Structure 1
Amino acid sequence: MRIGLDVGGTHTDAVLMDGSGVIARVKATTTEDVASGIEAALASVLDRQSPAAIDLLTIGTTQFTNAVVERKQLSRVAAVRVCLPAGRGLMPRADWPQDLAEATDGGSYLIHGGHLYDGRPLSELQERELTELTQTLSNTQPAAVVVSCAFSPTQPEQEDRLVARLADSLPGITVFPSHVMGGLGLIERENASILNASLLDFADRVANALVESSKKLGLQCPVYVSQNDGTLIDLERVRQFPALTFASGPTNSIRGAWALTGLADAIVIDVGGTTSDIGVLKNGFPRQSNLVIDVGGARTNFRMPDVIAIGLGGGSLIGPHGESCGPQSVARELRQKALCFGGSAMTLTDVAVSQGRLSISDASRSKLVEAKVCEAVDSLIVERLAATVDLMKPGGAVLPVILVGGGAPLIPGNTLAGCPIVRPDNADVANAIGASIAQVSGEAEGMRVAGADSREIVIENLTAIASEKALAAGADSATINIVNVEEVDIPYMATDTSRIRVSVVGDLASRGVLDS
């Protein structure tokens, strides 16, 4: 049996799964300290169950995203960019919000080195610069150092040598290579690596707390965390790459929608307490975005799901005559402020209760919303969601729209933008189900230059690299298969050049119990 747990800003959801069957489930309010809410949810689904019977605990968490957004729990990171004589015009963190830059600023340094897109050296490393850099970092003592070389995802050797040298010279300081964090695109990869490194100390504390919470309840199983592509990483990898979990919430819901319906290609709408996330299922996994992703105001090239969030949820505030719905929300204070719970705020939950779409045992129907207002709100939310679904349709195709999340009953009707709506059972805990059924993945990216290796050989080599990464993450080698191959032409090159990315997934291999 497996336990899937998803910790959101409003709710903490947990499910106990035996194969594809839901044995127990709970939807609880997220607590201020997070940990006590996790333990309470786990205790609830473990009621009358032996902890020894649990094979795996998988968790989705927003803690690292919240740390960046709130500018809390961040460490100082030195950014070393290896790019001179190019790259002088834009220093690391130059376009970041001031408060985020200040919270992570451990210094910024530019030195000679790096490569061009075809592997030719941009310039050679200079011994004098390296000596001065090492001395400066030794004096300033940042919590971590990020090294970013031009085109290091395709030419990592120089970056790896520099990381090893700095790590030897700076005991007690984590030195992190950018090529393991992001893809091609120096600035965005550097930003992603700095954010990740700023969370390393916090990640260590979070991982320790998760292990402690599971042990308190007698669990002896491995603990995994879901990441941005809808697959799993173990706690050791979370300690190294906390930023890979930034979008675990939406990805868990999308994967849960697949598990609940069996639909491999669909639009998924996850309706929460404050927002609705709209994403796309492609071959049973979240469609990934090819755009630059903004995280807390910093441009990054994380692999993130292609999701649009709109301010529409159960706590969304309704205008006096139904002319508006959200983005303002009562959020986790719904039970204190909504009309149906005796409060004075008109919310989307009140409209759904008044229309008979939602039944809440301890809610009162004494403060019903006028029918005219309800109809106006229903028309408004259908219009907004239909417009977003139209934007997300791949090639304008008509796909099923799967409604999940605790707020799924809030949405009226049977179609959106000409697409049929699917309302599965257990939709309100789809995120926890998505966490429980997650697999492990590997990904590799490279360049194909005309006149060099063929496209087939490049894909074969990248598949081998991606498979090795999946194996290292805990995949069963017999189950690894390719789920996505992306190829994008790169303009303005002297010869025809394209970027190819290969993604593979596999089932989690059987493992022993956690080390005591």
Structure 2
Amino acid sequence: MPSGREKLGGGEDLYRIGIDVGGTNTDAALLDSSLRPVHTVKVHTTRDVNEGIVESIRRLLAESGVNPARIRYAMLGTTHCTNAIVERKHLGKVGLIRIGAPATTSVPPLADWDDALKAAVGPHAYVVSGGYEYDGRAIVGLDEAQIAEVAGRMRGEVDAVAVCGVFSPVNGEQEKRAMQIVKAVLGDNTPVTLSHEIGSIGLLERENASLLNAALLNVIAGVVRGFEQALESFGIHAGVYICQNDGTLMRSDYALRYPILTIACGPTNSIRGAAHLSGLSDALVVDIGGTTTDIGVLAHGFPRQSSAAVEIGGVRTNFRMPDILSIGIGGGTIVRQDAAGGVTVGPDSVGYELLQRGRIFGGDTLTATDVAVKLGRHAWNGADTAGLDETVCRQADGIITSDIEDAIDRMKTSSDPVDVVLVGGGSILVADRLEGVARIVRPDHYDAANAIGAALGEVSGETERIYALDEMTYDEAMLDAKNHAVQQAVLAGAERDTVQVVFSEDIPLAYLPGNALLVKVKAAGRLA
């Protein structure tokens, strides 16, 4: 993070804006040069999410009175890419070249994709000769003529190309050569995604992630262009950064190459914001919004990453993702009473219609927010709780509390009580005490932790590789992995002199010959 106080020529402080687009609300935060929150706003997310972004910037400037010329950085966490995959809309046509014949022909590309998603990305998927063993030795040589031939079939049919080779995270040379051939056939401006830059070991999952990344290139280009135009329309000439799903940032030009890394950045922004606001570096973060409760783990100041393969829109992938548990509890969650007097909670929600449909606002739907206000958890000006049945509300509160306690227990690594940081506008639902929790921390600006997390200025890079220790020493393998992670952080926008390794892990692979070692390293540094 920046040290000291950044100044303009006249001695004025500089500021940064963080914006996080959620399913219900778009939150924006203005931070000063010491990363202290100056002002936050919350607006409804619109069908065209760019409209909500523009409105959040307008209100932030109008209410804070800050001169737009004093804003140096602007950060955006967005659901654009997630929505495009889930809704099967706005995806680009992608040509796939799998380098893996004859070893991988038994399972064709896109085998686990549904028909709608297959149709969205197009029919151009080919398997060509090549690939590597686990230790980087070639299985068979790359068939360059075959690659040129299938690239020719894609001419005029695809917007981008994805290249995925067997064990390419160990040795990426065949993928790089394939990219050169594709560009020679289709033109230098053809976007090419290389799988060893996206996912880890696991051919089909890495192939899926690479295809989705290539399909999202047009989506992220529109996001970046729209964000830059929105900033310029308000006279803001700032460095533009996009939030990654590991809780750090990447330059907009880096995001244009790796849009898949924005998937699930919302929960990680909340986790980073919670760490900053609470001062804790190790805790559980419970982020309660209008529709869901997202629970993540804060480890050494960063979100804990998932070790399992993750499905995105029904597609199994293995690129990095935060370890997040989501349950259907939020401020707009609907509470019902059946004919026998039983009470159920959710999982459906009124979402952004809370102020129209909630009972305390004159609506006809009992929500979790109504329950919290009735039980005195939160005072809402003008709210009318006289008509709410306290018995029903207490039953609903018991269900909500039990569900959240169970979810917290599932995310813990031991039975010991843990610290919990509560953030999000829906955190008013939670009582002051929870089973299995040592203490509950509700920091200032808790309802805008996601936008504040978006504005925090660390940039990261990481690597995950297999090394054969019969060819190099353990120290040489670790040094190579750490250098690669540092280089990735610099490419993403970090200042080299500030980059430090924040996580490293090495796992002996006993099932592979050659004394194999899997090394994972993450490095992070402040904005360049």
**SS at 2:178 equivalent:** helix
2:426 matched to which residue of 1? 407
Q: CA deviation at 1:491?
A: 4.8
**Among candidates 299, 311, 332, match of residue 282 of structure 1:** 299
2:5 matched to which residue of 1? none
Between stretches 490-499 and 79-88, larger displacement belongs to 490-499
Distance 1:7 1:127 in 2: 44
Question: Which whole-Å deviations, capped at 9, do the CAs of 1:447-480 have from their partners, x for residues lacking one?
Answer: 1334332333211111111111111222122221
Distance 2:510 2:342 in 1: 49
Which residue identity does 2:23 align to in structure 1? Answer: G
Distance 1:412 1:141 in 2: 56
1:33 matched to which residue of 2? 48
Distance 2:35 2:441 in 1: 19
Which residue identity does 2:201 align to in structure 1? Answer: L
Between stretches 262-271 and 27-36, larger displacement belongs to 27-36
**Among candidates 311, 316, 336, match of residue 333 of structure 2:** 316
2:482 matched to which residue of 1? 463
Q: CA deviation at 1:418?
A: 3.7
Q: Kindly indicate whether the alpha-carbon contact (under 8 Å) linking 2:420 and 2:437 is maintained by their aligned counterparts in 1.
A: no
- Runs of 5+ in structure 1 lacking a partner? 510-516
Between stretches 190-199 and 22-31, larger displacement belongs to 22-31
2:248 matched to which residue of 1? 231
Q: CA deviation at 1:113?
A: 0.1
Taking a change above 3 Å as real, the CA distance of residues 372 and 177 of structure 1, as seen in their structure-2 partners, is same
Taking a change above 3 Å as real, the CA distance of residues 505 and 308 of structure 1, as seen in their structure-2 partners, is same
Distance 2:502 2:387 in 1: 50
Distance 1:39 1:428 in 2: 20
Between stretches 447-456 and 269-278, larger displacement belongs to 447-456
**Among candidates 409, 426, 436, match of residue 417 of structure 1:** 436
**Among candidates 46, 61, 85, match of residue 102 of structure 2:** 85
Question: Which whole-Å deviations, capped at 9, do the CAs of 1:280-313 have from their partners, x for residues lacking one?
Answer: 0000000001110111111111211100111110
Taking a change above 3 Å as real, the CA distance of residues 300 and 429 of structure 1, as seen in their structure-2 partners, is same
**SS at 2:453 equivalent:** helix
1:45 matched to which residue of 2? 60
Which residue identity does 1:142 align to in structure 2? Answer: V
Which residue identity does 2:17 align to in structure 1? Answer: I
Q: Kindly indicate whether the alpha-carbon contact (under 8 Å) linking 1:149 and 1:186 is maintained by their aligned counterparts in 2.
A: yes
Q: How does 1:133-212 map to 2 (within 5 A)?
A: 133-138=150-155, 141-171=157-187, 173-212=190-229
Between stretches 54-63 and 15-24, larger displacement belongs to 15-24
2:17 matched to which residue of 1? 3
TM-score (norm 2): 0.93
Distance 1:362 1:274 in 2: 23
2:28 matched to which residue of 1? 14
Q: Kindly indicate whether the alpha-carbon contact (under 8 Å) linking 2:501 and 2:522 is maintained by their aligned counterparts in 1.
A: yes
**Among candidates 407, 411, 414, match of residue 392 of structure 1:** 411
Between stretches 357-366 and 166-175, larger displacement belongs to 357-366
1:478 matched to which residue of 2? 497
Distance 1:412 1:74 in 2: 43
1:363 matched to which residue of 2? 383
Which residue identity does 2:39 align to in structure 1? Answer: A
Distance 1:367 1:62 in 2: 38
Query: In the alignment, does 2:468 pair up with 1:449?
Result: yes
Q: CA deviation at 1:397?
A: 4.2
Taking a change above 3 Å as real, the CA distance of residues 135 and 472 of structure 1, as seen in their structure-2 partners, is closer
- Runs of 5+ in structure 2 lacking a partner? 1-14
RMSD: 1.5
Taking a change above 3 Å as real, the CA distance of residues 17 and 137 of structure 1, as seen in their structure-2 partners, is same
Q: CA deviation at 1:401?
A: 0.7
Aligned length: 507
Q: Kindly indicate whether the alpha-carbon contact (under 8 Å) linking 1:115 and 1:152 is maintained by their aligned counterparts in 2.
A: yes
Q: Kindly indicate whether the alpha-carbon contact (under 8 Å) linking 2:43 and 2:52 is maintained by their aligned counterparts in 1.
A: yes
Q: CA deviation at 1:362?
A: 4.4
**SS at 1:464 equivalent:** helix
**SS at 2:75 equivalent:** strand
Q: CA deviation at 1:87?
A: 0.9
1:513 matched to which residue of 2? none
Distance 2:204 2:512 in 1: 19
Distance 1:223 1:455 in 2: 39
**Among candidates 350, 375, 379, match of residue 330 of structure 1:** 350
Q: CA deviation at 1:486?
A: 2.2
Distance 1:122 1:212 in 2: 49
Q: Kindly indicate whether the alpha-carbon contact (under 8 Å) linking 2:30 and 2:38 is maintained by their aligned counterparts in 1.
A: yes
Q: What fraction of aligned residue pairs are identical, expressed as a percent?
A: 41
Q: CA deviation at 1:323?
A: 2.6
Distance 2:153 2:327 in 1: 45
Q: Kindly indicate whether the alpha-carbon contact (under 8 Å) linking 1:183 and 1:445 is maintained by their aligned counterparts in 2.
A: yes
1:500 matched to which residue of 2? 519
Distance 1:353 1:82 in 2: 59
Which residue identity does 2:68 align to in structure 1? Answer: P
Q: Kindly indicate whether the alpha-carbon contact (under 8 Å) linking 1:385 and 1:416 is maintained by their aligned counterparts in 2.
A: no
Question: Which whole-Å deviations, capped at 9, do the CAs of 1:260-283 have from their partners, x for residues lacking one?
Answer: 111100000100000010000000
TM-score (norm 1): 0.95
**Among candidates 256, 260, 265, match of residue 273 of structure 2:** 256
Taking a change above 3 Å as real, the CA distance of residues 416 and 73 of structure 1, as seen in their structure-2 partners, is farther
